[in-house]
């Protein structure tokens, strides 16, 4: 092939990059491969060890809705490497080292936290501060995917477990049931039930808080007093729904036996709890709207 024929076809002899696959495309391909190498294993671990439990069942829902929040802003997203100084990328090295260490010793909370920080940093570098400001809620919302440390969860849920146990016992004793409590352990007749952290409201509280933020973001672009009141109401709504759940499980144990209460009925009670919490949040929002119209 002669040099003239080669040049006429648009391929310069000795060129480093063909026109159909330039430096930007190669850069993007390497970036996507690197992201897949660190993101997919973590998502697999989350699905296997956290999202499959009652504490983390909200994970897939938050992931799908968070990706949708970013997708709906796709028209404003552009691939602009170097949107912030390259020196910021030096932070990737320690984050990646901590990420690898946490993954090697199965510290899923630290692993997800480091991955989250790396993705946010790369978002600033490749999309720019302006785009990240536009996506601020999606970035904050996806932070709910970070698995909290077990010690923190246990410390936060212990007062909730004891409080819900005592309130359940007081209510059932008032109805005449032979029930008592010692800490988070409830005894009714010959049965003993331990109120676990999943029944203490933290998992449903996190899920409801995330969905409440999403609901407010989509329905009220500008935050106001009613939005803040709705967020504050999420905590007592979730705790009240979980109190109902504990009472239902204790009554099922007493009337139908421990085997029934710990079978499908336990998962069904969790679905009922979340549904009640969601309906309670919507009902409170409707009440705030009605009160606002009357004023």
Active site residues: 199, 245
Band of the pLDDT at 288, cuts 50, 70, 90? confident
Band of the pLDDT at 211, cuts 50, 70, 90? confident
Position 271 scores a pLDDT of 75
Band of the pLDDT at 105, cuts 50, 70, 90? very high
* pLDDT tens-digit map of 60-84: 989 999 999 999 999 988 888 888 8
Band of the pLDDT at 94, cuts 50, 70, 90? very high
Q: Which residue has the higher pLDDT, 64 or 227?
A: 64
pTM of the shown model:
0.77
| Cα–Cα nearest to 120, from 143, 99, 93, 100 | 143
% pLDDT > 90, the chain: 27
Q: Which residue has the higher pLDDT, 65 or 267?
A: 65
What is the C-alpha to C-alpha distance for residues 20 and 23, in angstroms, rounded to an integer? 10
Q: Tokens for 94?
A: 């320690």
Band of the pLDDT at 245, cuts 50, 70, 90? confident
User: pLDDT averaged over the chain?
Assistant: 81
- In this prediction, residues 256-267 reach a mean pLDDT of 68
- 3-state SS, residue 193: strand
- In this prediction, residues 103-123 reach a mean pLDDT of 94
Position 261 scores a pLDDT of 61
| Cα–Cα nearest to 154, from 186, 196, 206 | 196
pLDDT of residue 190 exceeding 60, the answer is yes
pLDDT of residue 238 exceeding 70, the answer is yes
For residue 182, the cross-strand partners are 185
As a residue count, the chain comes to 295
Backbone angles phi, psi at 89, to 5 degrees: -70, -15
- In this prediction, residues 28-35 reach a mean pLDDT of 88
Position 39 scores a pLDDT of 94
Position 12 scores a pLDDT of 43
Band of the pLDDT at 198, cuts 50, 70, 90? low
* pLDDT tens-digit map of 139-185: 999 999 998 877 777 777 777 778 888 888 899 889 888 888 887 78
Question: Distance of CA 131 to CAs 126, 145, 170, 219, 224, Å?
Answer: 10, 21, 53, 21, 24
pLDDT of residue 36 exceeding 90, the answer is yes
């Amino acid at each position: 092939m002669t040099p003239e024929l080669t040049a006429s076809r648009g391929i310069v002899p000795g060129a480093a990059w063909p026109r159909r696959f330039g430096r930007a495309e190669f850069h993007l391909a390497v970036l996507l491969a690197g992201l897949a190498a660190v993101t997919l294993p973590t998502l697999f671990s989350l699905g296997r060890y956290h999202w499959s439990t009652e504490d983390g069942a909200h994970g897939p829902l938050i992931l799908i809705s968070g990706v949708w929040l970013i997708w709906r802003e796709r028209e404003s997203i552009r691939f602009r490497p170097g949107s912030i100084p390259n020196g910021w990328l030096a932070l990737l090295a320690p984050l990646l080292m901590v990420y690898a260490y946490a993954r090697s010793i199965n510290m899923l909370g630290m692993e997800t936290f480091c991955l989250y920080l790396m993705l946010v940093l790369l978002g600033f570098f490749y999309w720019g501060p302006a785009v990240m400001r536009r996506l601020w809620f999606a970035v904050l919302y996806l932070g709910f995917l970070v698995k909290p440390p077990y010690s923190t969860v246990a410390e936060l849920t212990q007062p909730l477990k004891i409080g819900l146990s005592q309130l359940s016992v007081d209510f059932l004793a008032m109805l005449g049931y032979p029930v008592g409590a010692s800490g988070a352990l409830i005894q009714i007749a010959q049965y003993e039930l331990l109120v676990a952290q999943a029944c203490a409201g933290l998992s449903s509280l996190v899920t409801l808080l995330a969905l409440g933020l999403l609901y407010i973001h989509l329905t009220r672009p500008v935050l106001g007093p009613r939005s803040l009141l709705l967020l504050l109401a999420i905590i007592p709504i979730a705790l009240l729904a979980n109190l109902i759940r504990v009472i239902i499980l204790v009554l099922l144990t007493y009337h139908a036996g421990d085997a029934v209460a710990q079978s499908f009925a336990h998962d069904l009670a969790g679905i009922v709890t979340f549904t009640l919490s969601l309906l309670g949040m919507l009902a409170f929002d409707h009440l705030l709207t009605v009160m606002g119209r009357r004023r």
